[in-house]
């Protein structure tokens, strides 16, 4: 069960697609991440309701959201730190071709104290849209205002504007990462998603 004050996004917004990357091997570590025992999006209920409103807004404009990560247990963040210090480079080409993996935290692409652990951050895109780079491609080309095609730039701007209308702020180094109001000072949790 989600912690007190949290909801399963599937209960609040069942038509938002979920591709929970850290629950399986298709992520920058190349393995399922500790703490993600089920491929479910959990969020603080206020953020989940705001995301449901964003999805209704998106639908009214002819598109639909897909989430990649929501609440992230602290143990998962610890696993990311351990991964950044090990010698495995198998995901470098797909996820961090121009950054040393042990610099990903210092460069801001992964947080050692993540707002995801509060349940007030979400990584997402739009079904069928091209954003110029894939989710979790840690590179200047993924910066929201970074160099990309006109279409991808327009898609990023549309997503940022949509999310802003519903209380979410984009992280300028990752077009996919958004935080809801209050995320910086909220409690971080370690309950696994199970």
Ligand X SMILES: C[C@@H](N)C(=O)N[C@H](C)C(=O)O
Tell me which residues touch ligand X (CB under 6 A): 69, 110-111, 114-116, 123, 136, 171, 174, 177
Reduced to 3 states (helix: H, G, I; strand: E, B; else coil), residue 7 is strand
Q: Which of ligand X, Zn ion, none is residue 9 near (CB under 5 to 8 Å by kind)?
A: none
The pairing of beta strand 168-171 with beta strand 174-180? antiparallel
Cα–Cα distance between 18 and 9 in angstroms, integer?
Answer: 9
Among 174, 184, 187, 194, the active-site one is: 174
Identify the H or E element spanning 165: helix 150-165
Selection from 105, 102, 107, 74 nearest residue 88 by Cα: 102
Considering the rule CB under 5 A, would residue 166 count as an interface residue with Zn ion?
no
Catalytic site residue 184?
Answer: no
What's the chain's Rg over C-alpha atoms? 16
Figure out which of the listed residues 16, 123, 124, 131 binds Zn ion, where binding follows CB under 5 A: 123
In the bound state with ligand X, the residue whose beta carbon lies nearer, of 106 and 161, is 106
Judged by CB under 5 A, which of 58, 117, 177, 179 binds Zn ion? 177
Q: Which residues contribute to the site for Zn ion (CB under 5 A)?
A: 123, 177
Question: Which residues are catalytically annotated?
Answer: 174
């Amino acid at each position: 069960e989600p912690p007190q004050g949290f909801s399963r996004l599937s209960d609040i917004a069942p038509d938002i697609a979920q591709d929970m990357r850290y629950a399986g091997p298709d992520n920058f570590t190349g393995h399922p991440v500790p703490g993600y025992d089920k491929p479910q999006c959990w969020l603080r209920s206020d953020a989940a309701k705001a995301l449901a409103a964003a999805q209704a807004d998106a639908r009214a404009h002819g598109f639909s959201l897909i989430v990649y990560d929501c609440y992230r247990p602290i143990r998962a963040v610890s696993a990311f730190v351990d991964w950044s210090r090990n010698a495995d480079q198998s995901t470098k080409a797909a996820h961090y071709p121009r950054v040393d993996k042990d610099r990903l935290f210092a460069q801001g692409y992964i947080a050692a104290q993540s707002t995801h652990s509060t349940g007030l951050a979400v990584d997402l895109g739009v079904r069928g849209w091209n954003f110029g780079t894939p989710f979790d491609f840690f590179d200047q080309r993924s910066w929201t205002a970074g160099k990309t095609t006109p279409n991808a730039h327009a898609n990023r701007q549309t997503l940022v504007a949509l999310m802003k209308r519903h209380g979410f702020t984009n992280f300028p180094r990752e077009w996919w990462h958004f935080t809801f109001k209050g995320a910086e000072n909220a409690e971080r949790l370690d309950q696994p998603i199970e």
